[in-house]
Structure 1
Amino acid sequence: MLGKILKRLGTVVPSLIGVVIVTFLLTRVMPGDPAAYFAGPAATPEAIEEIRRSLGLDRPLLEQFLAYVVDLAQGDLGTSLTTGLPVMHEITTRLPASAELTLLGLIVSMAIALPLGVLAAVRQGSWIDHLSRVIATAGVSLPVFFTGLLLVYVFYFILGWAPAPMGRLDFFFSDPERVTGFFLIDSLLMGDLELFRAAFSQIWLPALTLGIFSLAPITRMTRASMLAVLASDFVRTARANGLPPGKVVITYAFRNALLPIITTLGMVFSFLLGANVLVEKVFAWPGIGSYAVEALIASDFAPVQGFVLAMAILYVLLNLLIDILYGVIDPRVRIEA
């Protein structure tokens, strides 16, 4: 297993180099002039040219790229022109907010989709099978921002069960002492249950929005994988030997159906982490997605490049984690490796 991990890490370096090159080139061909944007509409051509020189945009493209690589090797992702803060600081501050929201949304989705997919496979053709298809189709058909606005209207405006969608905490609370960056975990580490309740009251509705949006692929993959395993010879043998139905389904069938489900969970988490910007906008969530979009609109190169690089590293680590889980779930994967 260790050899497989090292081998996978060895193949990562060319991918990250490609990401750095492509991201750098794409940000340079984006429409809009950052110098003109930050100079303002009333700026003279001389003032715009002065800003362009101060940003290094007047230098040849190769020279700009080499300077960027040198800074990147030193852990310097540049400074955001819109906020005036180092990009590394912004990413390390905002990434836990996006990761906490995405992870909780995935947990909500798993809590609904996995039992639903298993029951739909066990009772194929029944009402619960049809219900799972309807729920999965509805979840993926509704735009995520519409689902978020609908939930805000129902749970905040009509029922009053949720607080105003104003970020990670209410104005009356201060951020917990930073340990993991996850407010739910950090508040528990502080032993502040009131702060935990405040953080949870703000996050459960956007997490539910992401969970509904990601129901479809997890439910469908769980159902399809379970159907394939339930039709296998060893499951029929287990049933013929008189084993309890619950043990056959959970111990034998579900564990052998986990590999494609784990792959789907990894893909869904990666997609949600990079695409939850609409949810962040609806709920005023200070995450990395909204930060990158605002920088993209302003033609602010450094945050966009830092965002793409951070996402690429996270995807690599996530794929590595999935490989490790493969070996834990199915020992044959370790033997083949």
Structure 2
Amino acid sequence: MLRQIGKRLSIAIPSVIGVIIVTFLLTRVLPGDPAVYFAGPAATPQAIEEIRKSLGLDKSMPEQFVRYVKDLSTGNFGNSLTTGQSVASDIASRLPASAELTLLGLLISILIAVPLGIVAAVKQGSVIDHACRIVATAGVSLPVFFTGLILVYVFYFRLGWSPAPLGRLDIFYSAPPHVTGFYLIDSLLAGQFETFRAALSQLILPAATLAIFSLAPITRMTRASMLAVLASDFVRTARASGLSPRAVIITYAFRNAMLPVITTLGMVFSFLLGANVLVEKVFAWPGIGSYAIEALIASDFAPVQGFVLTMAIMYVLLNLMIDMLYGVIDPRVRLEG
């Protein structure tokens, strides 16, 4: 297992290096001048030039890149000009909000999509199978921001069942003591059950938006993978041996159908991190997606670079976890690696 992890990391390191280079170059060719933006419309050319020097933008591109890499090697992502804080601290404070939202949305999606895909495969051509196809088609067709706006309109504006989409907590509640950064977990650890209820009520609509977005690929892959396994010889043998339908489906069929589903879950999680940007703007969620958008509008290079690099590292770790799960589920994968 350690050998397999080392092999995967050796492949991932060049990818991270490529992301660093591409991100640096892309932020430098974006329209807009940070010095002009932060100097203000009434600034003189001399004041703009002084700001440019303080930001290091007066140096050549190779010099700027060398400085950027040196800072990264010490864990310094730079400072955000919009917040005045270090990018690392900004990302550390906002990442739990995005992670909590993404993980809850993915969990809701898994709890609905996987059973739905299994039942649709077992009862092929039934009403449930047709409902599965409708859910998959609707999930693919609806843009994530449109789904969020519809949910806000129905459940907040029309029915009044949901609180105002204005962040992680209602204004009448204060954040729980920081332990993990996840308000649901931290409020339970502190015994603040009212805060837990308030945080959960704020989470439901944005998490449901992400869940609807991710239902389609998980459901379709679960159904397709289960259909392929159910038609295999070893499943027929298990049924002929007199095993119960539940044992055949769960123990034999689903376990062998899990590898494509796990791969899809990894891809969906990556998609959700990208879709978070739109969902966070719709629900005023203080995550890293909205943080990156605000920095991009302001031509603030450091937060954008920190955001992209953080996402790249998360993708690498996610793929590593998926490879490890492959070995746990199917030992043949571990032996081949």
How would you bin the TM-score normalised by the shorter chain? over 0.9
Tell me which residue corresponds to 1:234. 234
Match of 2:153 in 1: 153
Deviation at 1:245, TM superposition (A): 1.0
Name the counterpart of 2:298.
298
Q: 2:176–2:190: 8 Å Cα contact kept in structure 1?
A: yes
Provide Cα deviations, 1:246-275, integer angstroms capped at 9, x if missing partner: 111111101100000000001100111122
Unaligned 5+ segments in structure 1 are: none
Give 1:62-211 correspondences, 5 Å limit.
62-211=62-211
Superposition deviation, residue 71 in structure 1: 1.0
How far apart are 1:11 and its partner, in Å? 2.0
Deviation larger for 248-257 or 188-197: 188-197
CA offsets 1:54-84 (integer angstroms, 9 cap, x no match)? 1110111111111111111111100001111
Q: Which runs of 5+ in 2 are unaligned?
A: none
Aligned residues: 337
Counterpart residue number, 2:272: 272
- Aligned partners of 1:176 and 1:187 also within 8 Å: yes
Within-5 A mapping of 1:202-221:
202-221=202-221
Q: What SS class does the counterpart of residue 313 from structure 2 fall into?
A: helix
1:38-57 aligned at under 5 Å gives the runs: 38-57=38-57
Distance 1:125 1:182 in 2: 42
2:287 corresponds in structure 1 to 287
Runs of 4+ in 1 over 4 A off after TM superposition: none
Residue of structure 2 in register with 1:313 after alignment: 313
1:31 aligned partner, one-letter code: P
User: Can you list the C-alpha shifts for 1:200-219, whole angstroms capped at 9, x where unaligned?
Assistant: 01101100000001111001
Amino acid at match of 2:112: I
Q: Deviations over 1:28-75 (max 9, x none)?
A: 011111111111122222221121111110111111111111111111
TM-score, structure 2 normalization: 0.98
Helix, strand or coil at the partner of 2:198: helix
Do the aligned partners of 1:274 and 1:311 also contact (CA within 8 Å) in 2?
no
1:141-175 deviations in Å (ceiling 9; x for gaps):
11111111111111112222111111001111111
Report what 1:222 is aligned to.
Answer: 222
**TM-score where L is the length of structure 1:** 0.98
Q: Give, in whole Å, the separation in 1 of the partners of 2:274 and 2:306.
A: 13
Distance in 2 of aligned mates of 1:146 and 1:334: 42
What is the Cα deviation at residue 302 of structure 1? 0.0
In 1, the alpha carbon distance for the partners of 2:156 and 2:187 equals 24
CA distance in 2 between partners of 1:307 and 1:334 (Å):
33
Matches within 5 A, 1:252-271: 252-271=252-271
1:149 & 1:164 partners in 2: Cα distance? Answer: 12
Matched, 1:322 2:313: no
Structure 1 CA distance, aligned partners of 2:11 and 2:147?
A: 39
Q: CA RMSD in A?
A: 1.0
How far did 1:12 drift? 2.1
Equivalent residue, structure 2, for 1:15: 15
